[in-house]
Structure 1
Amino acid sequence: MNRWLLRAMTELSSRKFISRITGSFAKSPLSRRLIPRFAALYRIPVEEAEKPLSDYATLNEFFTRRLAPGRRIVDSTPDALVSPVDARVAACGPIENGLLLQVKGQDYSLDELLNGSPRTGQYRSGYYWVLYLSPTDYHRIHAPCGGEIVETEHIPGRVYPVNERGLTLMRRVLSRNERLITYLRHGGGEVAVVKVGALNVSSIKYAEPLPRVLERGQELAYFEFGSTVVLLTEDDTCLPLTTLQAGDQVRMGQLLGTLVADHTNTR
């Protein structure tokens, strides 16, 4: 099957109404019987879940499950920046002149990704991580560092798949799909947590109640079905781990880098 036809089929299948239908079914009591099959199909470690499978009333409730206490350790290194999610690193690297370079063969503009936000200029020479959550993964999103929420933005958009095929086949998926952005101010600067919707993601929701000030590792939001988080740091505010590469698996709370308390000294 040629690339044009695959792209056309993906375009046709990536419609909002399909995600709404999928989401409605996943929230219905009828979906409950699919939970054991779903867990087995995706080899989900059910022993990590907060509750036994039989206690979840719908597939969506199971998919957005919390973990049992102690199942994730949040790195306690001073000024640590940690992964906000369980995910595979689809891409990571320095932001060069406002571009995220070679994310599955494509360059992404910060202006598009952040929807022309006036904050874009703060990240033009920062660092980025693209973190893909598969159906197997835990789908709650946590604060990558302690700090104050200074702005949020919801950007309507498409629901193209964000798996490897979707990112490779379709053009600029991360900046065309629906996004929910949280800007979090920490002691040395700011981070942007860009939550990207995808096919069959019926919504991206903030945790309730959502405090204005978060501790590192505190719950921030969650996806209903698999998707991607793009994490951005401002210019000269983070020393990323050099050992972390595209293709690596990370867990929520795992160290990604160290925040620079006074980033003016790194210029």
Structure 2
Amino acid sequence: MEIKFFDRKNKCYKTEKVAGEKYLNWTYSSPMGMKFLEAVLKKKVFSKLYGHYCDCSLSKRKIPGFIREFSIDTKEFKRHDFRNFNDFFIRELNKDARNISLENNILISPCDGKVLAYDHVDIDSLIQVKGITYSLQELIGNKNIAENYTDGCCLIFRLCPTDYHRFHFVDEGKCSPTQKITGHYYSVNPIALKNVKKLFCQNKREWSILSSKNFNEVLYIEVGATCVGSIIQTYTPNNDVKKGDEKGLFKFGGSTVIIFFQKNSVKIHQDILKQTQLGYECSVILGEPIGTTFVK
């Protein structure tokens, strides 16, 4: 299965180079693979064991080949003396690697990845892929909070294993403590999303609310995936944060950040909404403008 996305910078469609593509296709598209998935791969113990391997010094030898295969720009790295693969995976970037748009009326991408955008959402029928839906209440386990986002906006950012794997705040404000929900460790790749019903609601996830200066109450949800050893929150709850400040990071694996905005809080750029309607994700990087404050 080819995964095509829209490259916003060059205004063209590209095919994603997928880490472990053959494994993903076999696992999520064959009867034997699905049995192995249910018996082993989705379990916490598998991701935990693989996470331990990525934390050991032996895994360091994977780094050069990974960088070459996926053409990762090493000039962006803050440092190069990685102790193991996870140390490389959660790498920080140097200050010049990303340009954060600081204007109050500009909504920025909170991370590197591929984004889908949905406006005027039905919180009881959120789209996973065509024909598969889930509810916000199922996703966060809180009906009262979910109802605050009726007819609002939903952004789904998919981080590939090749991406920078830290996520950031889209505005200044204060963020609530994180609520944690245990779950499985399915892949969040589009191949998996087409074959596992209510996948986001089944995976391990965490959520919190940013009381922002310019975009009202912003609901952040971080979703783990296969081989993601941890979702690590690095912010301090209820303290002031600035736009672009780091919120947290994912250890090894593809992962997802889902953000909900309340009704009449944000206006997403038209090209992203259009590509989503056409069935394509858009590539974005941290700090890139993706919307503006809502103006009546």
Structure 1 and Structure 2 fold alike (TM over 0.5): yes
Distance 1:94 1:69, change over 3 A: same
Name which of 189, 197, 200 aligns with 2:216: 189
Is residue 227 of structure 1 aligned with residue 255 of structure 2?
Answer: yes
Partner Cα separation in structure 2 for residue 100 and residue 228 of structure 1 = 19
Partner Cα separation in structure 2 for residue 256 and residue 7 of structure 1 = 36
Partner Cα separation in structure 1 for residue 268 and residue 155 of structure 2 = 10
Name which of 267, 272, 281 aligns with 1:239: 267
2:67 maps to a residue whose letter is A
Partner Cα separation in structure 2 for residue 210 and residue 72 of structure 1 = 25
Cα deviation for residue 126 of structure 1 reads: 0.6
Cα deviation for residue 184 of structure 1 reads: 0.1
Unaligned runs of 5+ in 2: 1-25
Partner Cα separation in structure 1 for residue 256 and residue 121 of structure 2 = 21
Partner Cα separation in structure 2 for residue 210 and residue 218 of structure 1 = 13
Is residue 115 of structure 1 aligned with residue 141 of structure 2?
Answer: yes
3-state secondary structure, aligned to 2:176: strand
Unaligned runs of 5+ in 1: none
The answer to whether the 8 Å contact 1:151/1:184 transfers is: no
Cα deviation for residue 255 of structure 1 reads: 1.4
The answer to whether the 8 Å contact 2:174/2:237 transfers is: no
Deviations 1:64-103 (A, max 9, x none): 00001110011133222211110012x3212433145433
Identity %: 28
1:42 maps to a residue whose letter is F
The answer to whether the 8 Å contact 1:100/1:128 transfers is: no
Distance 1:98 1:210, change over 3 A: closer
Is residue 25 of structure 1 aligned with residue 53 of structure 2?
Answer: yes
**What's the TM-score once normalised by structure 1's chain length?**
0.90
Is residue 258 of structure 1 aligned with residue 283 of structure 2?
Answer: no
Cα deviation for residue 167 of structure 1 reads: 0.9
1:96 maps to a residue whose letter is V
Number of the residue aligned with 1:11: 38
Number of the residue aligned with 1:69: 95
Count of matched residue positions in the alignment of Structure 1 and Structure 2: 259
Partner Cα separation in structure 2 for residue 191 and residue 239 of structure 1 = 14
Q: Which runs of 4+ in 1 moved over 6 A?
A: none
Number of the residue aligned with 2:19: none
Name which of 119, 127, 142 aligns with 1:102: 127
